[in-house]
Each structure stands twice: as structure tokens, then as C-alpha cells.
Amino acid sequence: MQLNGFHHLTAVTADAPRNHQFYTKALGLRMVKKTVNQDDTSAYHLFYADGLGSAGTDITFFDWPTGRERRGTHSVVRTGFRIKGEKAFAWWSDHFKQHNIAADKVTEENGRMVIHFEDFEGQRLSLVDDESDAAAHPWVQSPVPEEFQIRGLGPITLSVPDLKPTDMVLTQIMGMKPAARFDDTHVYHMNGVGPVAELHVRVEPNMPQAQQGAGAVHHVAFNIPLDQYATWTDRLKTMRVPNSGPVDRFWFKSLYFREPNGILFELATDGPGFQADEPMESLGETLSLPPFLESKRAAIEAKLKKL
């Protein structure tokens, strides 16, 4: 039982139209699912990913009317996106300048080229060199040239005040392996190659506790095979980890729990996938609802703003 890297990361925006513009136009991702938060149907849940909506490539957003986050520890503090090669970094550096996107210069971190940048709400993001040979699935309608497009997530960085309890959950329950350390950051490996299989944990005992808001990360989801879902459910129960129990999101199945420093984790299956209710060629073009919300479509649509 090993985690197959990341599944998705879910963050918070207070401006869905501008968020849609930034992630599809400025970053060139494909919106593969336009739906609502299943626990709060007044809010969008927007999924941006590669051309196929592959697990491990999507950043998603809840649209909530809220102020900016208060940065601090007990939180996810940076989301990496994978790109490949020096030419890609040169292209993105120029692209950020042309679009007035706040970005640092290309640097090296943990032995890889990286550019740190932020979206319009201060969501902390990075472009990271991807040494994996896994096939990329570009979006043909992206404004970003295919060879420079974002290939998926990774690494993702947490901040905790105390490593020991988080380390116990990562290694003893989730099966990650400590792999390296740079500065105040500990690197944990999952099943896979390169940044998609790396969780970074920054130890910051003197930071205040974060408070969620626009620009914050709500939770990070790890990829598990669909046929291991019941096994992971039993594992959390056997190890007495307080958790949500099975949750069927229709496009994937989920389990939620918090690690000891309070960060929300999700285990999400690699199927059925976003084609369960929409053809590949038109993913994300209309509002998609899971079957149990379909009878409420008119009321839900009436409350949503246009993108």
C-alpha cells in the first residue's frame, strides 16, 4: 500500500471569475470540471488540470466570499507545478514579466530549477523542473505552447511547528519515506519519480498559526488506486485515525483526516475520473453535478455567478 503521489490540491478563492481567467489564460490549464462544493452548493468547485484531467495534475478551488488568509504554520504553504527543461523556464520567466505576475528569478532548490510566484490573491505557487519521463498530456487549446505547459502537481510544501507527530503519520500510516533535507525542509517520498512523489515539510516553530482565507490551501489529496479504497478505509480504522469514513464524490472516492498539526489530508482514488458524466472533448464547459444534486440544479445555478 503506497500513495501514488498527489491526486489534487484544493485552495480558496474569493473571486471565481478572475480565478478562472488566471488559471486557464495566464497558466494555461484546462478547466476539466465546473461543479459546486458538495457540502456547500452556493460555492463553485473548479478543477484545473492537464489536457486529460489526469489524477495528479489538478489544482481546484472553492469560491467563498472571504478575506485574505493569515499566513503561518499548521498549513500548506506552497504548491509546485511541474514543467520540463531550461527552455520552459526561460519561456515562463518572460511570460510572467509580460503579464505582470509577481515572480522570483529562476533559482535552484533541492537540486532542481524553480521559479516561485503568486497568483492575484497571494496563492503561493512554484514551477519546478520535472525529471520524470512520464508522458505529458497537453491541452491543445491552451494559450501556453504544448512543450512548455504545466505537466502536473509537485512538490507540495507543508509548514508545521513540530515535525515528530507529522512524521509519524507520514511514515507509519501513509507509508512515505524520509529522503532528504535542505534548509529547514524535510523531503518525504511516495511511490513515483520526481516532484509529483515528493511532500516537503518545513519546520517553523516560531511562526503564528495560519488562518484560512482567499489565497490559502484548504487541503491536499493523495492518489490511491480505486481497488485499494476499502483497504485504506480499514487501515485508518484499524490504526484509530479519526476520519470522515467513505465519501463518494462521484468522480473519485475520498477519505479525509487531519494530521496531528491540523492540516487536512484527503486520500482520493484514481477513478472513475472526470469522463464519468462528460465526454473528454467538452470537459468543464457546463455545470456538472453529481447525481444526488441533479434534482436541485435550477436552484444551484440561480445562486452561482457567471465565469
Strands laid side by side in the 247-248 sheet = 30-37, 40-49, 58-63, 6-13, 217-224, 264-272, 252-258, 247-248
- Closest to 263 (Cα-Cα) out of 306, 202, 188: 202
The SS3 of residue 24 is: helix
Q: Please report, for residues 105, 151, 219, the alpha-carbon distance to residue 154 in angstroms, rounded to integers and kept in the order given.
A: 19, 10, 14
DSSP assignment letter at 211:
B
Q: Say if CB 277 and CB 284 are below 8 A apart.
A: no
The answer to whether the predicted template modeling score (pTM) of the entire model surpasses 0.75 is yes
- pLDDT for res 217: 98
What are 109's strand-pairing partners? 112
- Closest to 268 (Cα-Cα) out of 239, 293, 248: 248
2-30 pLDDT, tens digit per residue, is 999 999 999 999 999 999 999 999 999 99
Q: Say if CB 48 and CB 10 are below 8 A apart.
A: no
**pLDDT < 70: residue spans in the chain:** none
- pLDDT for res 1: 84
CA 125 from centre of chain: 10
What is the dihedral sign for C-alpha 66, 67, 68, 74?
negative
Domain spans, the chain = 6-303
Q: What is the CATH number of domain 6-303?
A: 3.10.180.10
- pLDDT for res 38: 97
